[in-house]
Every structure is written in structure tokens, then in C-alpha cells.
Amino acid sequence: AGNAVVVKPSEVSENTARLVAELLPQYLDKDLYPVVTGGVPETTELLTQRFDHILYTGNSSVGRIVMAAAAKHLTPVTLELGGKSPCYIDKDCDLAVACRRITWGKYMNCGQTCIAPDYILSCEGPGLCPAAAVLILPFASAPTILTDVSPESKVMEEEIFGPVLPIVTVKSVEEAIEFINLREKPLALYVFSNNKQLIKRVISETSSGGVTGNDVIMHFFLSTLPFGGVGHSGMGAYHGKHSFETFSHRRACLIKDLKMESTNKMRYPPGSQKKVDWAKFFLLKRFNKARIGLFVLALLGLVAAVMIKVSFG
């Protein structure tokens, strides 16, 4: 979109950060696209500076800090945050396929994906377990399934950024929708069902950043779909053309012609060109610095003003 950009990679992925800091300037114009590395103190300092837009990807707590810092400069922000992305599995559904797709999304990158299905809502409950268990075996690090999870348990409080998949039992799709709506709006929402109407219903009766029906994560890969959150899961969106829009100011422009002024007559206060000509006549009169002459002219001007108002007003 034509901006200059400061890139601040995460200090947590040390090696990648170092690589980006070394390599990016070798490819991009380093005067316009510098890379700043560092941790919390460096980022805090950086945020005191004035930017024209900030895009932050991370968690909601830091999202608040970024937004507060941006507010000082009236800087617009795009916040890609997180949350607990629910995954509803309907009774009427190919369980094996559903579980395979879900576990793929969940355990990819060791569960450290902001749009990974965070927890499952299912009428099957623990019955879901065997199907899922088989499928998680190929994934490397200690994938875990928790069954019969209570809504109040610790694992249901915050976003799970690891290979742990709780299953919450619900009695119906209504209960699932209620469960989802009682919580903060998630970044992604997933629903598995052979019933198209049910999927439509879940989408209509809930809110989330994005949705994939009968699969997980995939809406992220279609660049024509805006990718972003809502509520606590973020604001703004990007990917594809949406990135261009996010980083552009859509400036309203109206170019008129100085001619055809007669068409504008109706918007001016009641008065003909005559009134203006009278006014100009008095204004343009030259006079010397003599006080008397000035006084006389001022008086004349006042008289003219009153006369014009009385006769035309």
C-alpha cells in the first residue's frame, strides 16, 4: 500500500528473529523497512513512538497495551488476538473424518496456532475419544485429550496454546450455541455437520472472527476472505486485498469545475451578485491615512450596509 514499515519480530522465536534482522535488510530498502529486535522493554519504548498504523498479532493482554499506546497518538490499530475457538460436532456427522480434520488443526505446530480448535462441544462426549485418539498418534509432542470437561475448569478459562484438547459434553446444538455466546467472541469457530441448515444456523446465531464449516483452519488459507478477530479476539483484518485496504487511507475526492457557477447560485444566501458588487465598491475604495477620511468612509460603509440589508434583506 506504499507505507514505510518497522518490523518487530518476536523475541521468543530467537533464531527466526535473528535471521529476519540479518536478511531482510539485504533484500528490502533498509531505510524504509527496518527490523527492530528485542523484548518487552524494547517493544514498550518502540510503542511510545508515533506510527500511522500498528498491526499486532499476539494475545489480548498485550493487545490492550498496544491499543492504549496507540491511543496516545490517535493511531489506528489492527489487532490479531486470540481466544478459545470452539468446535461443535453434530450428531449427524462423519465422526472419523471430523476427528481427523480437527486433530490435524489442533496438533499442528504443537497446538500453538491462534485459530486451532481450542475445545470441542459434542453430544457424544467421551464417546468421541477413541476416534480422536487414533488420529493424534502421528503428532509429536504429548498430545492430550481431556474428556467430560466442566465449563468452570481451569482449562476452559484461557486460550490453550498447546496440544491439549478438552471435550465438553452438551445436549443439543442450542446448548452449544448458548455456551459459545456466553463467552468472549473467538477468533475462529468450527462446526461439523452433514446438515447444511444446522451449519448456517450456528453461523447466524454466533459471532466470531472467521468460520470454517466441516474443517478447521482452512478459511485462513483463502486470501479473498478477510482474516481477523472481533471483540476480544481482535479488530481489523488482513490477507490478500484486505491487507492493502488495511494499510491504505481511502481518501474521498471530489473534483469540480470552476465554471458553471450559475448552478451553485441556489446554495448561497439570498442576494444577487448586485449585493456583492455594492459591498466590493465600498471595500475597494482607496483612502489616505487621515483619520477624518477614515471616519467618513467607515460611516459610509455602515450606511451602505444598513441600506443594503433594509432593501434586500
Partner 1 sequence: NPYAGLVSHLRASWLSGKTRPMEYRVAQLEALGRFLDDKKEEILEATELDMGKPSFEAFFSEILLCKNELNVTLNNLCHWMKDEHVDKNLVMQLDSAFIRKDPYGVVLIIAPWNYPIHLFLVPLIGAIAAGNCAIIKPSEISKNTERLVAETLSCYLDSVRSPSCPCLLFLGHGVPYPASHPPAPHIIYVQNLLPPHSASVPASWDAVGEDRWGAYKCVLRGGVTSELCAWLMLLGFLSAAPTVLADVLPSDPAMQEEIFGPILPIVVIANMDEAIEFINARPRPLAIYAFSCDSKIVNQVLERTSSGGFCGNDTLMQVTLTSLPFGGIGNSGLGKYHGKFTFDTFSHHRGCLHRNMGLETLNTPRYPPYTQQKLGLLTSTFEVKRRGTCTLL
Q: Which stretch binds partner 1 (CB under 8 A): 3-11, 41-49, 167-175, 288-296?
A: 288-296
User: Quick one: which of 67, 144, 155 has its CA closest to 111?
Assistant: 144
Q: Find the binder of partner 1 among 298, 300, 303, 307 (CB under 8 A).
A: 298
- C-beta of residue 110 within 8 angstroms of C-beta of residue 140: yes
- b/e 97-116 (16+ beta carbons within 10 angstroms → b): ebbbbbbbbbbeebbebbbb
Contact positions with partner 1 (CB under 8 A) in 200-229: 203-205, 207-215, 218-219, 221-228
35-74 mask for partner 1 (x: CB under 8 A)?
A: -----------------x---------------------x
**CA 175 to mean position of chain CA atoms:** 29
Q: Which stretch binds partner 1 (CB under 8 A): 54-62, 147-155, 167-175, 244-252?
A: 244-252
| CB-count exposure of residue 36 (10 Å: 0-12, 13-18, 19+) | middle
Nearest distance from C-beta of residue 140 to partner 1, angstroms: 8
Strand 54-57 with 77-80, pairing: parallel
Separation CA 63–CA 52 (nearest Å): 17
Nearest distance from C-beta of residue 154 to partner 1, angstroms: 25
Nearest distance from C-beta of residue 155 to partner 1, angstroms: 25
Q: Which stretch binds partner 1 (CB under 8 A): 81-89, 126-134, 151-159, 196-204?
A: 196-204
User: Quick one: which of 157, 150, 218, 160 has its CA closest to 188?
Assistant: 218
Nearest distance from C-beta of residue 216 to partner 1, angstroms: 10
Separation CA 189–CA 185 (nearest Å): 9
Nearest distance from C-beta of residue 158 to partner 1, angstroms: 20
Q: Establish if 256 lies at the interface with partner 1 (CB under 8 A).
A: yes
Contact positions with partner 1 (CB under 8 A) in 167-186: 181
Cross-strand bridge partners of residue 227: 238
Q: Establish if 283 lies at the interface with partner 1 (CB under 8 A).
A: yes
Number of residues that bind partner 1 (CB under 8 A): 76
Cross-strand bridge partners of residue 300: none
Looking at 11, 22, 80, 205, which residue is catalytic?
A: 80
Cell 477614515 -> residue: 294
Nearest distance from C-beta of residue 41 to partner 1, angstroms: 27
The three-point CA angle 205-176-64 to 5° equals 70
80 is annotated as an active-site residue: yes
Cβ-based nearer residue to partner 1, 12 or 182: 182
Separation CA 76–CA 53 (nearest Å): 5
Q: Which stretch binds partner 1 (CB under 8 A): 1-9, 55-63, 166-174, 255-263?
A: 255-263
Catalytic residues: 80
